[in-house]
Amino acid sequence: MKSELPPCIFNIYKPAGISSYDVLRHFKKNLNYKFSKVGHFGTLDPFAEGVLLIAFSRASRLNNYVHDELTKTYIADGVLGLETETGDLTVEPHNEDKSQYLKEEISKFSKEFIEERLKEKFLGDYWQAPHKFSAAKLDGKKLYEYAREGVEVKKEKKLRKVFKIEVISYNFPKLTIRFEVSSGTYIRTLFSDCANYLGTLGTLEKLYREKVGPISMENSIKQDQWPIKSEEWDWQEYAVPMTELLPLEKIELPETQVKSLANGIAVSFDKEVGENQLCWATHKSRSPLALTIVKNQRLQPVINFSNCQ
C-alpha cells in the first residue's frame, strides 16, 4: 500500500523542449506515494529551462506567498537585430534591423556601457504587458491561444519590479543578461524592451530560470534523478524545506500551544516581531507547524501543517 506524501516541495530542473505540465505529469505518474494535490510555483515556457518548483499536498497553498515574497532570477541569452512573433528563436525572424547604426555603433558598445544604460532605464518600477505568446489569460483563455488563431488582444500593463541587471557577456550580436525581477515579469518582453532602448530589435535564443528566491538551479533535481515508478525514490532526500524556500522568522512554540494552533486558534508568543509579518511556527520539528501572520501580537495560522506531520 502506498504511503502518504506529506506537504513537500521539489526543486526540479526543467529541460528545454518540454512543458511545465510534462514535468508535473511525470511526477504524478511515477511517484510511489499518495498525495492530495500537485501544482507548480510559476510555469516555464517549453523552450526555457531551469528551476521549476513543484509542490505536493498542502504545500501547494504556498503558491501566492512564493509569488508575493520572492524574486525570480533569469539568464537571458539573446540576439540583437532580430525580432520574432514569439520573442524567441523557436520561430523564424519576421523582422531584421539592417541599419548602419546597428552595424557601426551598437556592435561596438562595451558590455559595461550596455549594463549602465539598461540599469538607468529599467531598474526599479517597470510597466509591462504580457507577451501575446504567453500563458497569461484573458476571459479564461491563454493569450497564445488567441495569437495562434490570429486574434489580436491587448492586456493592460502591470507594474513589475526589476531588482538587478547584469550583462554577463556581449559578443555582437549575442547578448547575455542576468535579470532579477518580481514574479509575473516576462523576460522575452523585457529583453526586447532592452534591445529597443539600445536602438535595435532583440529576441531570445535561450532562457534559464536561475533562481526562485534562494532556491538555485545548481541544486535542482536533474532529469536522470527524477522518480521512475519501478524504482525506490526517497522524497526526503530531494525535498526543499518550506522554511528554506520562504526564509521567514521562525517562532518556536511550547507543547501547550501546539494543539491550539492546529485547531486554528491564534496563540501568543514572546518574540519581537512586527504586526502583519509572516512567520513560521515551529515545535521541535524539521517541518513547520504553520505559516502564520502576526495580528495583535498573536500568531494567526494562515496555512496549517500541524495535522500533516
Task: Report the catalytic residues.
Answer: 45
SS3 115: helix
The distance of Cα 229 from the centroid of its chain, to the nearest Å, equals: 28
Q: For residue 157, with 0-12 CB atoms within 10 Å meaning exposed, 13-18 middle and 19 or more buried, which class applies?
A: exposed
- Reduced to 3 states (helix: H, G, I; strand: E, B; else coil), residue 46 is coil
| Dist CA 107 CA 113 (whole Å) | 12
Give the DSSP per-residue string, 20-32. HHHHHHHHHHH--
**Who contacts 137 (Cβ-Cβ below 8 Å, separation ≥6)?**
143
First-to-final CA distance of the chain: 19
The CB-side HSE value for 64 (13 A sphere, CA atoms) comes to: 6
Determine how many CB atoms are found less than 10 A away from the CB of residue 197.
15
Rg (alpha carbons) of the chain, rounded to whole number = 22
Longest dimension (CA), the chain: 75
